[in-house]
Amino acid sequence: KQEVTQIPAALSVPEGENLVLNCSFTDSAIYNLQWFRQDPGKGLTSLLLIQSSQREQTSGRLNASLDKSSGRSTLYIAASQPGDSATYLCAVRNSGAGSYQLTFGKGTKLSVIP
Amino acid sequence: DAGVTQSPTHLIKTRGQQVTLRCSPISGHKSVSWYQQVLGQGPQFIFQYYEKEERGRGNFPDRFSARQFPNYSSELNVNALLLGDSALYLCASSLQRLNTEAFFGQGTRLTVV
């Protein structure tokens, strides 16, 4: 059974800092990994999708990497801003049994202090 | 283009009642999935529908059911509501069933009293 872990559970940084969020998964047989942002009480906003054959994806100040063999992904946020404050979730889609579902971590709650 | 839309946004129900939640996917998307998110946890998978057929079911009781219509919109039904069903219910749509990006709606907040 796929399990996804996100560390740390919460993170507080001053504005302007670069930061890294971590995601690990137990089963490396995946189609893809997706990073999401969730504001309090709201739905999920897709940030980046990395296919299993890719090593990284970039969008603006965000860069996500994937090391499938070690079961790890990182989300790098450059020059953080107060508007980046939210919970960040990673999710994987297995390539074998259970491929119909995304398996989520519990998220990292990020606070960027002005 | 409109994103994934869910209705209603908030709902309060009494224990034992039944509820229907609705989801309209992004135009052209054929796959719709439902997730339940309780406070402080990541979303948990409930159902996936693709081309109007159920393709996957999560570890939820039979009180939960869903369907997908010819226009690819979907409904999630929950019978005999329990207090523990209180959660944010999220709908996701994607172009294909497996290896494409999933886009989520704003969710329906269900409170069971």
pLDDT digits (tens, 9 = 90+) for A1-10: 899 999 999 9
pLDDT band at A97 (very low <50, low <70, confident <90, very high): confident
pLDDT band at B33 (very low <50, low <70, confident <90, very high): very high
A92, closest residue in chain B (CA to CA): B99
CA–CA distance, A65 with A72 (Å, rounded to integer): 8
In this prediction, residues B19-25 reach a mean pLDDT of 98
| Those residues with Cβ within 8 angstroms of residue A77's Cβ, 6 or more apart along the chain or in another chain | A18, A19, A20, A21, A61, A62, A84, A110
At B58 the pLDDT is 95
Does the structure show a pLDDT above 90 at B5?
Answer: yes
Cβ A107–B104 below 8 Å, yes or no? no
CA–CA distance, A83 with A2 (Å, rounded to integer): 32
For B104, which of A4, A43, A98 is closest by C-beta distance? Answer: A43
Note the pLDDT tens digit of each residue in A70-93: 999 999 999 999 999 999 999 999
For the CA atoms of A59, A62, A67, A71, the dihedral, rounded to the nearest 10 degrees, stands at -120
Grouping H, G, I as helix, E, B as strand and the rest as coil, residue A35 is: strand
CA–CA distance, A32 with A83 (Å, rounded to integer): 27
CB A34 within 8 A of CB A49: yes
Cβ B102–A46 below 8 Å, yes or no? yes
Note the pLDDT tens digit of each residue in B35-68: 999 999 999 999 999 999 999 999 999 999 999 9
Taking alpha carbons only, the member of B46, B39, B65, B87 closest to residue A102 is: B46
| Those residues with Cβ within 8 angstroms of residue A23's Cβ, 6 or more apart along the chain or in another chain | A4, A5, A6, A33, A35, A72, A73, A74, A75, A90, A105
B42 touches chain A (CB under 8 A): yes
A40 touches chain B (CB under 8 A): no
At A99 the pLDDT is 84
User: Which residue has better confidence, B45 or A96?
Assistant: B45
CA–CA distance, B14 with B9 (Å, rounded to integer): 17
- By percentage, how much of chain A surpasses pLDDT 70? 100
At A98 the pLDDT is 78
For A104, which of B42, B88, B105 is closest by C-beta distance? Answer: B42
Closest-CA distance of chain B to residue A80, Å = 23
At B111 the pLDDT is 98
Q: Rounded to 5 degrees, what angle do the CA atoms A10, A11, A16 make?
A: 155
- By percentage, how much of chain A surpasses pLDDT 90? 92
Cβ A105–B42 below 8 Å, yes or no? yes
Residue B78: beta bridge partners? Answer: B19, B64
Question: Best interface-test mutation with A: which of B45, B59, B91 has the largest number of A CBs within 10 A?
Answer: B45
Does the structure show a pLDDT above 70 at B1?
Answer: no
At B22 the pLDDT is 98
A59 touches chain B (CB under 8 A): no
Does the structure show a pLDDT above 80 at B99?
Answer: no
At A100 the pLDDT is 87
Looking at residue B45, its amino acid is: F
CA–CA distance, A44 with B40 (Å, rounded to integer): 14
CA–CA distance, B90 with B63 (Å, rounded to integer): 17
pLDDT band at A48 (very low <50, low <70, confident <90, very high): very high
A41 touches chain B (CB under 8 A): yes
CB B89 within 8 A of CB B34: yes
Note the pLDDT tens digit of each residue in A9-22: 999 999 999 999 99
Cβ A46–B97 below 8 Å, yes or no? no
Cβ B104–A36 below 8 Å, yes or no? yes
